[in-house]
Structure 1
Amino acid sequence: MKAWRVHENGEPREAMRLDEVPAPEPGPGEVLLRVLAANVNFPDAMLCRGQYQIRPPLPFTPGVEMCGRVEAVGEGVTGLDAGARVITPAALPAGAFAEYAVVPAAGVLPAPEALDDAEAAALHIGYQTGWFGLHRRAALRPGETLLVHAAAGGVGSAAVQLGKAAGATVIGVVGGPEKAKAARELGADIVVDRHREDFVAVVKEATAGRGANVVYDPVGGEAYTKSTKCVAFEGRIVVVGFTSGTIPAPGLNHALVKNYAILGLHWGLYNTHDPVAVRQAHDELGRLAAEGLVRPLVTERVPFAGAAGAVQRVADGTTTGRLVVIP
């Protein structure tokens, strides 16, 4: 089978190489999937660079999530029949940018019928992250104001839709007119182009000086620092990632004086510590998808041969919504 592999760490466009490798076979407790679609995530770029918290041995296949069709199951696996369409995180070092992949059966979930293969591939990590960040960590309530950074990106676009579904007023921060248009179409009530406006001033004006109750930040750097200037009393800042490349050093004295909370979110830990909650969130996301309240913003379905370039574009921050690789 064909699989993209990283033999030496570097920029995705140079590091990823299309190889011919033996097709995998499922072991006990595992499932063999024919990959139907593989969503491109920023962690894929970090994996290529050797900068992710998980560093699989070289060579490895990147691609951290997928939609696939069950081809075969290993010993001890029940409840998964051949032909079933499913979504799942990948099992590195054998990631999703391949024609076939083997994954643990415990992490496999049914693909929502309301979504096509590419949309389903983009649902799992981004929307689970949004769900746990907004509901489990920040306890977002109807009527509150939610500030979302990178609101037209893969993670941010999910938070916009989930915030609206929860009854919040959503302010989205983006970079450029094309992304502003996408954020409005996603349902953001107010959109701020950070190249032209100061989002701190916009948030304060929109909330009559109270500030945002919840800040959803996958960017870090200046986005985080400026968010502390417009977070509300008893506000919650959810730290999701650092696509800016800068990890902020928060002033805890400032959090004390303004009485706000800084909440970290590493969604992957829930798969280990509370897998039941992951399944419950999946069921809720499936319901929201069936009702048309959430739908991943897939802006491009990339042919398999273009996977390396797609990961590079996500790494460079030039994309809107989700790029999904179709083997």
Structure 2
Amino acid sequence: MKAIVCKEFGPPSTLVLEEVESSKPKDNEVVVQVKACGVNFPDTLIIQGLYQFKPQLPFTPGSDIAGIVKEVGEKVNHVKPGDEVFGFVMHGGYAQEVVVPGNACFQKPPMMQFPIAASFMMAYGTSYHALKDRAKLQKGETLLVLGASGGVGLAAVELGKLMGATVIAAASTDDKLQLCKSYGADEIINYTKEDLKTKVKEFTKGKGVDVVYDPVGGNYAEPAIRSMAWEGRYLVVGFAAGDIPKIPLNLALLKGCAIVGVFWGSFAMKTPKKNMENTMELMQWYGKGKLKPHIHKIYPLADASVALEDIASRKVKGKAVIQCS
């Protein structure tokens, strides 16, 4: 089978497409013929050795997969060969086949196309876990989403509205913010032109926001925390800006707020039952037409490096997807 291989940590241009051996499933695993794989910002960090974990070289990047079951392990009984599925792996998705843990492999709704399914798990799984489990977002609260036009950000905008919050979307261009508006954002902030704290104060009549969803980090983290309401929750989702901010901890004291980490991958692996419950809820909403993943572009497997470069350079709105077979 063909796969994108990372043989040395570095930029997307160092990745190679080559033939690799197919794998056999262990008792609790599923081999999936990959039809599509979502491209996520952490992929750009993993291939450079800059993420929270470093896979052993050589490895194939890619986590969000959708495809057809080829083979199952002896202890897997919820899917069978021929089933259309989607799932999550720590890496290995940019390939024609991948081995998926059984508890991270789900039946794909018949009406859901493979590119959509491959755009769903990480973006919506992360954002729903963040808002539901970590922030415990309540109806009527105000949610500020930074990097709101990206994969997880746009999912957070959509889910925040669905959960009954007033949503303020912040992004770097007017074009990106118009997309956020179409996904339900009540207010928008272009933080390259406008002062984040001033606009939040204006929109909330001085109260501040109850929850900040931050997959960006960098220079926007501190003004976002300074924009929080009393007993707010600041969600640390990622660092797309490249810099991990150093937060003055007196702000947590003065705001009476919580700084809460969000690591959906670990949550999914450590508490698969809870993750399954969340996934089923998301699937129900999708089935009712309440969630609509936005696909920016579909790239052939050979152009995986181009997809990663587009993600890294902030060209992607919503999700980029690789067509693997």
Q: Which residue of 2 aligns with 1:9?
A: 9
Give a deviation string over 1:55-110, Cα, whole Å, max 9, x none. Answer: 11111100011111101112222121111111111253xx1100111112121112
Q: What's the secondary structure of 1:4's corresponding residue?
A: strand
**Stretch of structure 1 that moved more, 277-286 or 246-255:** 246-255
Contact 2:4 2:301 (C-alpha < 8 Å) held by counterparts:
no
Aligned partners of 1:61 and 1:191: how far apart in 2?
37
What is the aligned counterpart of 1:288 among 265, 285, 290?
285
Aligned partners of 2:257 and 2:73: how far apart in 1?
48
Aligned partners of 1:220 and 1:325: how far apart in 2?
27
Q: Which residue of 2 aligns with 1:258?
A: 255
What is the aligned counterpart of 1:321 among 318, 321, 325?
318
Contact 2:160 2:167 (C-alpha < 8 Å) held by counterparts:
yes
Aligned partners of 1:157 and 1:210: how far apart in 2?
24
Q: What's the secondary structure of 2:205's corresponding residue?
A: coil
Structure 2 residue 87 is the aligned partner of structure 1 residue 97:
no
**Stretch of structure 1 that moved more, 303-312 or 143-152:** 303-312
**Stretch of structure 1 that moved more, 192-201 or 39-48:** 192-201
Which stretches in structure 2 are left out of the alignment for 5+ residues? none
Shift in Å at residue 143 of structure 1?
1.0
**What amino acid maps onto 1:23 in structure 2?**
S
Aligned partners of 1:300 and 1:143: how far apart in 2?
34
Give a deviation string over 1:196-221, Cα, whole Å, max 9, x none. Answer: 21221121111110011100000111
Alignment of 1:52-67 (within 5 A): 52-67=51-66
Aligned partners of 2:240 and 2:173: how far apart in 1?
17
Structure 2 residue 226 is the aligned partner of structure 1 residue 226:
no
What is the aligned counterpart of 2:192 among 195, 202, 206?
195
Q: Which residue of 2 aligns with 1:174?
A: 171
From the superposition, tell whether residues 145 and 113 of structure 1 become closer, same or farther in structure 2 (CA, over 3 Å): farther
Q: What's the secondary structure of 2:289's corresponding residue?
A: coil
Contact 1:87 1:110 (C-alpha < 8 Å) held by counterparts:
yes
Aligned partners of 2:246 and 2:196: how far apart in 1?
21
Identity %: 39
Contact 1:115 1:295 (C-alpha < 8 Å) held by counterparts:
no
Structure 2 residue 203 is the aligned partner of structure 1 residue 206:
yes
Alignment of 1:1-327 (within 5 A): 1-12=1-12, 14-92=13-91, 95-327=92-324
Q: TM-score, normalised by structure 2?
A: 0.96
**What amino acid maps onto 1:75 in structure 2?**
E
Q: What's the secondary structure of 2:109's corresponding residue?
A: coil
Q: What's the secondary structure of 1:215's corresponding residue?
A: strand
Aligned partners of 2:200 and 2:289: how far apart in 1?
28
Shift in Å at residue 24 of structure 1?
2.1
Aligned partners of 2:88 and 2:256: how far apart in 1?
37
Q: TM-score, normalised by structure 1?
A: 0.96
Contact 1:119 1:296 (C-alpha < 8 Å) held by counterparts:
yes
**Stretch of structure 1 that moved more, 158-167 or 196-205:** 196-205
**Stretch of structure 1 that moved more, 287-296 or 215-224:** 287-296
- Over 6 Å off, 4+ runs: none
Aligned partners of 2:57 and 2:258: how far apart in 1?
39
Aligned partners of 2:80 and 2:263: how far apart in 1?
31
Shift in Å at residue 114 of structure 1?
4.4
Give a deviation string over 1:257-300, Cα, whole Å, max 9, x none. Answer: 12111111111222233211100000110011112221211111
